[in-house]
Amino acid sequence: MTNSPANAKQPIRVRRIRFTYPTGSLRRHYVDGDLVMSHAMAYLSSTFPEGEDFFVRSVRRFADQLTEPELRSRVGGFIGQEVTHGREHRELNERLQQMGYPTWLGDRTTWLFLSLCERVLSPLSCLGITAALEHFTAVAAETLLSDERAQALLGSTEVRSMLLWHAIEESEHKSVAFDVYRAAGGTERRRIAAMLFTMAFFVTGVTTHTVASLVQDRATYNPGTLARSLAALWHSPFLTSSVFARFREYVKPGFHPDDTDNTALLEYWTAELFGEQGTLVDHLR
């Protein structure tokens, strides 16, 4: 297997980091007081521990076959980052569960779905699903890092700090699974089919689990609260036409994640969070 010549990239950093969520440090609707977004983001967080484990397994199955040293090195960084992401989201999910969000349900259904994929699909198809999901996370991550409205939703909470760190690392390794898929001989047809399959289940999962979470929240039954939240959702920075355009780019033949250059974005946020005066330096271990 060989790596694409387009992939002469910076090394992927594995940061030893910890976040904490003391009781009372988060208000009930921690995403800017918004009902629907708080439940949607709690569900998304609940999918990460099992999702990250699936990503690592999918990439690791092909790691020994890689011949390009740079790609092998990037795979090592990818695995290190994803393992840390899963651990930190488990910590957040426990806190959200205590606050009344059913993160256990999202965790369980994610495990069931991905376990089924591994039983009935080939390792290469699972790698294709991983590459597709990595595109979802990269687009969301770069939206958070580049849109001040998205950052404002999270205020100054520990959740904001954790998601900014997660966003940097998702942006750093956004093309690793994709490049391993290509190196493993994955075709364009299978890659695009994997994205269409993934997109259908992703949208279904977010919708059904967010609704299931909302029905357990008393605030949902306040017509004014619900109406304001749904109106805000319509204008969400994560649901703009440009975001959807980036999702659709993936199904175009010849697409590569690095077609969107994030170098300047990563340089800015790496200095902002982890430079000499970085706001998250005290979280590193």
DSSP track, 83-134: HHHHHHHHHHHHHHHHTT--HHHHHHHHHHHHHHHHHHS-HHHHHHHHHHHH
At 151 the pLDDT is 95
Q: Which backbone phi and psi does 280 adopt, to 5 degrees?
A: -115, 10
Angle at 52 between CA 180 and CA 91, to 5 degrees: 155
Residue (of 26, 136, 18, 148) closest to 84 by Cα position: 18
At 24 the pLDDT is 87
Residue with tokens 């921690």: 30
At 9 the pLDDT is 67
Residue (of 117, 123, 62, 100) closest to 212 by Cα position: 100
Angle between helices 35-63 and 188-214 (to 10 degrees): 150
At 7 the pLDDT is 41
Tell me if 184 sits within 8 A of 62, measured CB to CB.
yes
Q: How far is CA 193 from the centre of its chain?
A: 20
Please report, for the chain, the start and end positions of each structural domain, with discontinuous segments joined by +.
35-283
Residue 200 structure tokens? 């259908």
At 285 the pLDDT is 86
CA distances (Å), origin 75, targets 11, 43, 69, 172, 175: 10, 27, 10, 12, 10
Tell me if 108 sits within 8 A of 200, measured CB to CB.
no
pLDDT, block means (10 residues), the chain with 285 residues: 48 93 92 97 98 98 94 97 97 97 98 97 98 98 97 94 98 98 97 97 96 98 97 95 96 96 96 96 94
3-state secondary structure 15-73: CCECCCCCCCCCCCCCCCCCHHHHHHHHHHHHHHHHHHHHHHHHHHHHHCCCCCHHHHH
pLDDT tens, residue by residue, 81-119: 999 999 999 999 999 999 999 999 999 999 999 999 999
pLDDT tens, residue by residue, 171-198: 999 999 999 999 999 999 999 999 999 9
